[in-house]
Chains A and B, each alone.
Chain A
Amino acid sequence: MIMKRLGISFVLAAALTCVSCIYDFDPQVEDASQFVVVEGDILIGDYSYFRVSESRNLKDLNVFISRFTGTASVECDDGTSASARGSLGEFLIDTRNMKPGKKYRFSVTIPEMDGKIYYSDWVEVHQAGVIDSVTYTIDPQTKSEMWINVTSHNDNDEKYYRWMSSENWEYCADYYATFYYVPDQASKRDYGPGKVLEYENGENTNWCWKVGTVSDVMLGDLSELSQTKFVNHKLYSIDKHDRRVSYLYSPQISQVAISEEAYRYWSSMSKNSDDVGGLFSPQPSECRGNIHCAQDSTELVLGYVGASTVSRCRIFIAQADTRFYEKKKESGTQPEPTLVQKSEWRAYYLEGWLPFQPHFDEEGGMADPVAMEQFDWLPARCLDCTLLGGTKDKPSWWPNEHR
């Protein structure tokens, strides 16, 4: 924890010093051999999710999808085990009935790797403790950074912790479109102008939901503190232009306890990816995990599997309360609602525009309430939230009535 903070500052030091600058660099490196990567923790009393994949070359631009199948299991030193078949490298193992106080290990057999078996060291179960609250704080001076903090305590003698955040957020389009456009079918000889129809039953393209996982490595060390609790321990920050906090943001924080060895593994991973390149940055170094190949003990396998109970806490952060989010000012002229004549509807549609609302005249009255042919149009990305990566799949537990 100590070094990480100092390290970050020194990177800033370098970036700020007078005339220094950071510019792009594309080094020619030899492609490394591919390593098997095992990710996941044995979560006692819960489902355990594992992902087994391979490392890629630096320049490989393909989406990370694992080709692995096979069977994975969590074994207990009392001889019991739970296993699951997987696809795309993903394994969900039911470890709900497993108990602390025993030793566990993960193993996986991968047909795509000539049936090689990969297993972790036997690990003891750590007690996660209890998350008391998750809060947010906004830097009172700059108001540009929001921190998500955790307060938790643990009556067991656990020193090292790791947090994960799986997030859901709701956001909305820049303009709430109350109408939508239906183009004429191609079967007609001449394409007509199409139709503009009003949304019914609260349907909209205004509200969208998105899920994510915070990629920051979040670690805590209680051995530095005089009490067995974290008070407003800062986990990760969100910039004021980040769309996640634009409307309603909901992180679910999971807390697990880890061993000292695992703590070092994770700090090393964190330093290697976050704290590099500064004037006083440590030199990167690869920290060995606890996964081995049964057939070849010299094979380097990436990843660290630990075992812990888990404590979770979810909060909601509403822009209506925080007034934190600021829409990033885009360069160039901003699109404004534009009156589009019916004859041009199709052309605008093909250009990526959509109707927004009926056109109003200068007195504020609807321009043609009867014919409904006068509409203001906008580029689709201002109206359709799904174009920003989200979906209309609202979580069942989401605390508002939006559709």
Chain B
Amino acid sequence: MVAVLGAVQLRAQNDGSQLYVSKLDAQQLVDFIKKEVNPGIFFVKDTSDKRVYTVRASREDFLSEAFKELKANSYSVTEYDGKYFILRNLGFSTELPAGYFLADQQENAGISQEMARYLESEKNIATFQNKIYEIGEKGPVSKAKAMIRGHVRDVLSGEPLVGVAVYDNNGSAYAQTDADGYYKIMMPTGFGELGFSGYSLEDMKLHVEVYDDGNLDVMMKEKVFSLTGAVITSESKAQHRVTQMGIEKVRVNAIKNVPAVFGESDALKVVMTLPGVKSVGEAATGFNVRGGSVDQNLILFNDGTIYNPSHMFGILSSFNTDVLSDVQLYKSSIPAEYGGRISSVLEVKTRDGNSRKVKGSVGLGLLTSRLELEGPIVKDRTTFILGARTTYSNWILKLLPASSGFSGGSSSFQDVNLGLSHKVNDRNTLHAYGYFSRDKFSFSKDTTYRYNNINGSLKWNSNFSDNHSMTATVGFDQYNYKAGDTFNPAEAYQLSSRIRQYSGKLVFKSMLSENHTLTYGASGIWYDLNPGSYEPFGDSSLVKARYLDRQTAAELAAYVSDTWRITDKLSFDAGIRYSQFVPTDGKQKKSYGGPEFRLSGKYSFTDNFSWKAGFNTMRQYIHMISNSVNISPTDTWTLSSDKIRPQTGWQAAMGLYWTFLDNTVDLSLEGYYKKVDHYIDYKSGAVLVMNENLADDLFETQNRAYGVELMIKKNIGKLNGWISYTYSRSMLRQSDPNAKEVINNGQWYSAPYDKPHDIKVVGNYKFTHRYSLSVNFDYSTGRPVTLPVGKYQYAGGTRLVYSDRNSYRIPDYMRLDLAIIIEPGHYLKQLTHLSFTIGCYNVTGRKNPYSVFFTTNGGAAISGHMLSVFATQIPYVNFNLKF
């Protein structure tokens, strides 16, 4: 990669004491200095530097003058051992390994050697691809395998890189960097090749000579687009190396590329584009994973539990994309360290702040404006990241004419994320996270709704030794809502409910040997629920204050799992989790508990073709009480009690994974069968709000679900994205023999989210570095509904006779979205980078039904209606300014 700079005139004059160069590029200038003044100069060219330099000075002063020029153009010059090191944009720091300089290695091979020596003299960990790194004390090798650990970071921002695949290129050893960017991997002693690959990062292959356990920190850099040759992403690698299945990871870049309604990129909406994930409609942030209900998903935001992940009736989710790092969904093999929900675990993580300089961005969208700020507090040790969003969406309701009766309506939300991380030392990292969101809306002056999420957590990562690490987390989560109604002053009330939970969790990871990695630990949650309070509002209210009994309980769990690599091809992951639910409020007597099994196995036919199978059982002790199909702000939660048994379930799954076309395309086929017992359903006419005897209005239902998910995914290249097809069913059957009424005669019937066919396409095509086109397509069978099949006259009006539950479907759903994303110029010198997105949601303007209903108009005429949430094209523009 030799940079050629057009016609540059070289006019170096040597007139005795005076040196003069004119219009040289940086490389030429350095070459001149080396030749004329000081040969001990090591320079790494930045190909984006198009500047030319002119220097005139005496021979004595020439060096400092030239350096001044270079420094003025963002180069740093460091003297070390009588030699000068010149780098663009970066000072030399002890942690800066040379992995960054790959692009220039050929032309600067000699220099690189020098520089590597310089870097390594600081710390024995610097890396170049064409160099052999010695791991451990050089000497006689005493063992067959040795542990390599290290830290992987982004070369520019210094941010730890999470989820980078680290693998033995000649063997089967595989590891991923953890949440702090640390990895550990067992490598055979002797010569070897260690690969690093991560999403949107350039792959690295490092030659190592392993003598003993040792350290190897790596700096990786973001991929330049026009890459050639095989590039392997961590996702593809992981697919064939880890035994777990049904794990979907979405990077924040991918989230930002997917067109979204009003252009507000949204992590949860992207999760819904993954196979096996469905939602009941467009304004729904509740999602259904493999035929499970919305409350069977554990949503963890930096280890804090989010009970209501929606803003503005579900148009947006709680997560501010600007501060996210990635989103990971476990829909089949759920690691033993997680539990408490039947269907899935969704892990949403925020980034660590930039450890080198303060940066930020502001964004303007149709609904929200966003601010993001990050940077070091103590350089390279303590960083912060702050994200905040607020709406100005009131304008939507303001557009309504005053006579509509809703002029008093409003809707708004704010949320704030704060993340702090502190690197105590090489082995210990501390994190603190805070999240606060506030939603408020009303449709008339006499009704108001508010809800808040509050989460805080502290996390300590510690690597005790090369093969033993610990993560300790404590957290506090709260969700509460308040709904007020002053419709009639004498009956004005305020309804509220609150969930609080205190949690602690310990996870130890121990690499017993090359073949066994043990994960074990314990966790505890103490739930404190105020399921409902109903209070008078205002002085003239006659409402009698009523409070439902506070519910408290502890959910304790201990778990251990072992990843057992039998051969390079065959490996197993076996885990057991024992959870115990203990009521602590003195009113409930029954304690529930039981083991949960998490088993998975993998057999790789080749490096690129593997087969996996898994089986796991789950238990759930907290249940959402709602008979709407969507998550609604007024949903309450209840704990298992003497009358409400915990939900229990199991899932068996199997899958085939094939990576082909130079490792650029992944094809996967997964099938599953799932069964859940004691799932909660509601009697007809059940009262769910402020019901002291709630359990009497519920009955138990069985749920069975099965499906096949086919997905083809291209992670890199100009064209990337995925296409998936899912066939799945989810059926319910009343199983409670004590219930008076029998839903659908005790036969299996469709769950409200049973949508058999499902096709999803998410694609992004990069025309150039700056322009790309994104496409999102979604087709699914309409969801089941209960429709009227007859009518009768009663009490002065026409009433409806309904069909058996969920025996009809609304029309199929189909939507196409397009967006053009314009990235800023890649000039590093620029202080600010403006990017914008122009897009259109629902390009075809299809009126997708959300629900179907019938109105009787008080008379004989019955009319059917469909509600479509976004019934037309929604064009949008979204600006983002980075600084």
Contact = CB atoms under 8 A, between A and B. Distances in A.
B398 to A, nearest CB: 11
11 contacts: A21-B871, A23-B868, A24-B864, A32-B803, A231-B491, A234-B487, A269-B794, A281-B851, A283-B628, A285-B682, A285-B802
Given A64-B860, A265-B685, A283 B634 contact: no
Interface string B583-613: 0000000000000000000000000000000
B793 interface: yes
Interface in B313-358: 313-315
Contacts of B792: 35, 37, 53-56, 64, 302
Interface of A: 1-3, 5-6, 9-10, 12-27, 29-32, 34-35, 37, 39, 51, 53-58, 60-61, 63-64, 139, 141-142, 144-145, 149, 164, 212-217, 223-227, 229-234, 264-265, 267-269, 272-273, 276-288, 302-303
Nearest to A214: B796
Contacts of B689: 2-3
Contact of B632 (A18, A61, A268, A279): A279
B800 A19 contact: no
Given A14-B869, A25-B865, A223-B544, 17 more contacts: A2-B689, A17-B396, A20-B867, A23-B847, A23-B866, A24-B865, A29-B788, A32-B803, A39-B793, A53-B793, A57-B790, A63-B860, A224-B544, A227-B542, A234-B488, A279-B314, A280-B634
A302 B794 contact: yes
B534 interface: yes
Contact of B487 (A5, A276, A282): A5
Contact of A14 (B397, B808, B867, B874): B867
Contact of B443 (A12, A35, A232, A233): A12
Contacts of B854: 276
Contacts of B788: 29, 58, 284
B543 interface: yes
B586 to A, nearest CB: 26
B631 to A, nearest CB: 8
Chain B contact residues (Cβ within 8 angstroms of A): what range?
Answer: 35 or more
B495 interface: yes
Given A2-B495, A56-B790, A144 B403 contact: yes
A378 B633 CA distance: 55
Contacts of B397: 16
A273 B864 contact: no
B789 A32 contact: yes
Contact of B490 (A15, A144, A233): A233
Given A285-B685, A287-B685, A288-B741, A145 B794 contact: no
Contact of B789 (A3, A58, A232, A279): A58
Interface string B513-538: 00000000000000000000010100
B634 A23 contact: no
Contacts of B685: 264-265, 267-268, 285, 287
A3 B800 contact: no
A16 B400 contact: yes
B102 interface: no
Interface in B633-663: 633-634
A216 B284 CA distance: 30
B790 A34 contact: yes
A16 to B, nearest CB: 6
Cβ-closest 3 pairs across A and B: A277-B853, A215-B797, A213-B796
A44 B43 CA distance: 103
A302 B795 CA distance: 12
Interface of B: 281, 283-284, 313-315, 396-397, 400, 402-409, 441, 443-445, 447, 483, 485, 487-491, 493, 495, 534, 536, 542-546, 627-630, 632-634, 682, 684-685, 687-690, 741, 752, 785-803, 805, 808, 847, 849-856, 858-860, 862-872, 874
Contacts of B785: 283
B443 A5 contact: no
Contacts of B796: 164, 212-215
B791 A282 contact: no
A58 B867 CA distance: 20
B684 A287 contact: yes
Contacts of B805: 283, 285
Contacts of B495: 2
A32 B801 contact: yes
B795 A39 contact: yes
B490 A232 contact: yes
Contacts, number: 271
B844 to A, nearest CB: 14
A27 to B, nearest CB: 6
Contact of B871 (A23, A63, A149, A264): A23
Nearest to B863: A24
A225 B491 contact: yes
B136 to A, nearest CB: 61
Contacts of B403: 142, 144
- Residue from A18, A27, A225 with most neighbouring chain B CB atoms (10 Å): A18
A27 B856 contact: no
A64 B793 contact: yes
Contacts of A302: 792, 794, 801
Nearest to B283: A279
Contact of A224 (B534, B863, B868): B534
Given A14-B869, A215-B797, A280-B630, A231 B542 contact: yes
Contacts of A164: 795-796
Contact of B852 (A20, A27, A267): A27
A232 B488 contact: yes
A280 B632 contact: yes
A273 B483 contact: no
Nearest to A63: B860
Contact of B684 (A54, A223, A225, A286): A286
B311 to A, nearest CB: 13
A233 B542 contact: no
A279 to B, nearest CB: 6
A284 B786 contact: yes
A303 B488 CA distance: 30
Contacts of B283: 14, 17, 279
A5 B485 contact: yes
A6 B797 CA distance: 22
Contacts of A286: 684, 801-802
Given A26-B864, A35-B792, A142 B684 contact: no
B793 A22 contact: no
Contact of A226 (B485, B542, B627, B789): B542
